[in-house]
Structure 1
């Protein structure tokens, strides 16, 4: 039985206020590179990072279901900047993009060259992942999913060095998340744990995480959908449920729902959480 989760997790409401302290603790004097999307910048969430580190370079062109062409273009930028630490801020797309760019920063070629398991020659740069949705758990997993638009296929780039070094998980970053995204990302988290618990690679340890995550999600998702801003307890529970789903499914696996959802997402650019919620049996 194998169970591996090397990411250091800092969890709690208001945790973003400790960002500078956390970076200086593990990455003192590191040069930084922020990866996010335009929606996060427009919502003012990126300012919560930039206020700690004014003037750091930012790539904010990550799209839903990040495209291989976007990652390869950003890869050229990150190679010129040569940062020591990549900060990913956003939903699963931004976090997956950050992990992919950390890989390209230390390895030659294009992101499609690294499709599969452990194809990189040098370990990626460390990543500090800050999720702003309650679904993907990319902040604690070893996979980056990038869409190859010419093949219309979602590539999995993964390896033991792809885990973020640090996950800063602050439920208060969900306060401005629109209700439809609370629903779709929360159902993505639900799909993670249902599949982690029911697939053949599940173990005693992954079941512990899956059961606790499932309990948290069931207790909080409907409440969070109805009042994400005002219901602090629901906000914290759905965020924690999403995060601890990561160790469950990345040490077990996902199943048929994710396979179908990724195929549909690559063909029609369907949001991942929406696709999962459609195909998860009720």
Structure 2
């Protein structure tokens, strides 16, 4: 099998990397960026700090968590009204995904629903520089963006080279102030990326190396970062692991956890990493019999089993760890999160249909039908 590999042209990784933003723009021949960020980045002064590093740059901060097509359209209008040659996505996955979506629409027109999977977009787009402030989505290094259709409430996966940032600036110091809940949710999101990239039917030797490296880093440091946000070594390892996981799944794929997670986020506004965490133990248990060796290698990378121990033992250790991790990180289930049970049950058929339509479940080692997905949703509700 020939693997098609895509990476940002430039990566700057390490503490203080934010300070190299201007030189990265200069290296790319860009000089008129629009910073796309969120109100929090403005309130804490990080957007202003970046403006100062760039000698002044316009800021658009009217983004929303879990971006929808209305928010993307607002950002597109701001881009079209100015004379910008590039976009800087500053923040968590939501501002970066918004920047990536706008980069395509500003050059190609149309609506986000025109670009949802299984479409593959390789057309023109504004250059995007991704600067993550959470250790989670890996969006700064992926050829994906996720946007909810404001009319249908479908969380759309959009794929293609057009959505790949030209540069990523990965500075772990930007995560030191993040609270425990956000640290946990984004951290499990990154772990899910790594595991799913490794067990995906689209996995390849290139993505495997990044996925295993990400699992090693995240497993050893997520609890530490959760308990002590100022643990610089843990924060640095988590940031690197998140970017490695993003590179892994961008060049492999995500699978059933993500396919089922997106409808939960769209219909109930559960943060993406949290909905992944809700699903990860149950979906892994469902999927593992179809790829026992692969899941066993995940356990070994995470330090849960030794090379001499058999695969069945290793998989059992992985399942125990995923449940323990959710407990240690105080991950609530859908019921504890406050989702209305009647609405949950009513929406199960639609959520299962939307999960399958995203394409991600087809990459899973064990490919489910809609009924199997509904069974898993019911199991997660009761957990």
Shorter-chain TM-score: what band?
A: over 0.9
The worse-fitting range, judged by mean Cα deviation, of 190-199 and 19-28 is 19-28
Matches within 5 A, 1:1-282: 1-7=2-8, 8-28=10-30, 30-116=31-117, 117-119=119-121, 122-229=123-230, 231-281=231-281, 282=322
| 1:15-39, Cα deviation, whole Å (9 max, x unpaired) | 11122122112224x2111100001
Structure with a larger share of its residues in strand? 1
Contact 2:37 2:61 in 1 (8 A): yes
Q: What is the Cα deviation at residue 4 of structure 1? A: 1.3
- Structure 1, gaps ≥5 residues long: none
Bigger helix share: 2
Instruction: Report the secondary structure of 1:260's partner residue.
Output: helix
* RMSD over aligned Cα atoms: 1.4
* Aligned residue pair count: 279
Kindly indicate whether the alpha-carbon contact (under 8 Å) linking 1:186 and 1:221 is maintained by their aligned counterparts in 2: yes
**Equivalent residues of 2:7, 2:142 under 8 A apart:** no
Higher relative contact order (CA 8 A, sep 6+): 1
Q: CA–CA distance in 1 between the matches of 2:250 and 2:54?
A: 32
CA apart distance, 1:68: 0.4
Instruction: State TM-score, norm by structure 2.
Output: 0.70
Distance 1:267 1:82 in 2: 36
Mapped partners of 2:56, 2:28: distance in 1: 20
Whole-Å separation in 2 of the counterparts to 1:262 and 1:125: 26
Return the alpha-carbon distance in structure 2 between the equivalents of residues 217 and 207 of structure 1: 15
Q: Please identify, of 96-105 and 46-55, the stretch whose mean Cα deviation from structure 2 is larger.
A: 46-55
Gaps of 5+ in 2: 282-321, 323-383
* Distance in 2 (alpha carbons) for counterparts of 1:23 and 1:112: 31
For the residue of structure 2 that corresponds to 1:156, the secondary structure is strand
Secondary structure, aligned partner of 2:77: helix
The Cα of 1:258 is off from its aligned counterpart by 0.8
